[in-house]
A and B are shown apart, each in its own frame.
Chain A
Amino acid sequence: MTMKTLLAKIKAYPYLPYISLGLVLSLIPTLVYFDVLRSSYVTLIGAVMIYTIVALGLNLLLGWSGLISLGTAGFMGLAAYASAYFTVNLKLPFELSVILSIAIPVAISVLVGLISLRIEGLYLAIATLAVSEIFRKTFAEFDFITNGFSGKSAKYPTLLGFFKLDNTMTYLLLVIVMVLIMILIHNLINSHVGRALNAMRGSEAAAQAMGIDLLKYRLVAFALAIALTSVAGILYVHFIKYVEPSKWNLGLSLNILAVIIIGGVRNIMGTFVGAFVVFAVPDLVLKQIPYFGKIANFAYIVNGLTIILVILFYPSGLIRVFTDARIAFNKFIAKTRGKTA
């Protein structure tokens, strides 16, 4: 095999973008070690990856399956509290805690999925909002599990019962989990299951006529989305190591929604771009702007404005900026080539 064909094969490898992203992100701890970047970057980018995973879940639900849910924050918090409780209070092994902390929210989400069959669109959005509110209030009340407003702490994961991870290793675990999830979602979307979800969104009538059971696929969509949300919640509590009730509010659900709108609905890499814009750019860029940077909530305002502007003017999301740039670049190359020919 020549170098050319090898390169061509690599370029055509469908998982290339995700793996490249993973490789780039895994360099961050090294850069921190050599003092090229501040150590806060690890926490920041780690958080971006966690939010990417949640947002992929929401993208699966809203972007591909067309089911609107404003309950993301509540479920993420549920998984976070569950894993904190299982590992700290019940001293269960990390892996078992993960399984339980995914299973419980998913079971509840199936209930919500059942509700979604009777109520649609808008009614469903509001119902999921109510569900998230119920969770948030419960987190504050159930203080024998959640410590109420004092918040709950957890530790870095311990794998296989003995391998205690530290900050950097947990960060790398995040990279691996995120890339794996991206690959799995990619496969799912390009399979017949992905097509069924798209059909459910695009035309319920056509989907049913083609044999797609709407009940089954709505439940699948909810279960998968909440499974991803739970994974993110678990990673959150074991990376940030602290969780408290007020975080799991509508604002967070809205920010996750902003992630997929800004990054691009139905686009896996776009989800990462969106998470970066919503959760990292404020700290990296906005806070550095003189005068505006000092204003509290400036990032929140900018995110809100960005959502509105993106919907009005760039409905495919900012990920299109990359594709459009590439198209413009190719056109430019072709033009100059044509001139010299």
Chain B
Amino acid sequence: MKRLLLFIALVVIASPAPAGAGEEVAKILKNRCASCHDLTGPAPQTIHELWARDAPDLFYAGNKFRREWLVEWLQKPVRIRPAGVNYLRTINSSPTPKPGEKKKNYDVLWGSVLKPLVHIKLDKAQAEEAADALMQLKANTQYLAGMKLDKGAQVGLDKGEVLFDKIYGCLSCHQIEPNYGGYTGPELYTAGKRLQPVFMLSYITRPKNWDPKIWMPNGNVKPGDLQKIVNYLILLSKEDFNAAN
């Protein structure tokens, strides 16, 4: 086991790009991303650190994202987490109702998350470069070991939604179509496009491995259901959500 870990560590250390490209890439990340995003890790270890976080951690971006999605998103950034990265800053327990509106009997989102996301926009060439640089950030590779998507474990959208809502209760925090689902987790109707399947498998298995203090619990998902849920999320991301609107 120790040897395996050592090997993985060596691979991680040895893998960054050839020296010439490395400098350029490091500059892009340092200048453009590092003021808000954590590019070096580790993830927040205490609650105070958790609530000081301003933007999603990117130090394992290369193990998390799909490159195509990064390139596209960096050119056209939109909000992924309806309640923001830091939901304590974005909820309000006693909102004043607008004229003619009934008083809400639950906490509501307020402030910056109700406005479009503020994020640097890159052009195509820059986005490609930045995505390349991000894809080299590969921490926590050990948690991906043994994860493999079983494409045979397909479920339809209906059965998938039953798993997602009624059996594991993910819908309480995650949205499976625009404005349908909870707010405190990232939207998941784009997850299949955004995330690598092995990352989804690993993260759902134990969120704590990737982010020790995150407010997503370990759902104790059975291995068979795990494969079905990830296949469902991939299937879901192929839906055209703009068609109905």
A-B interaction:
no
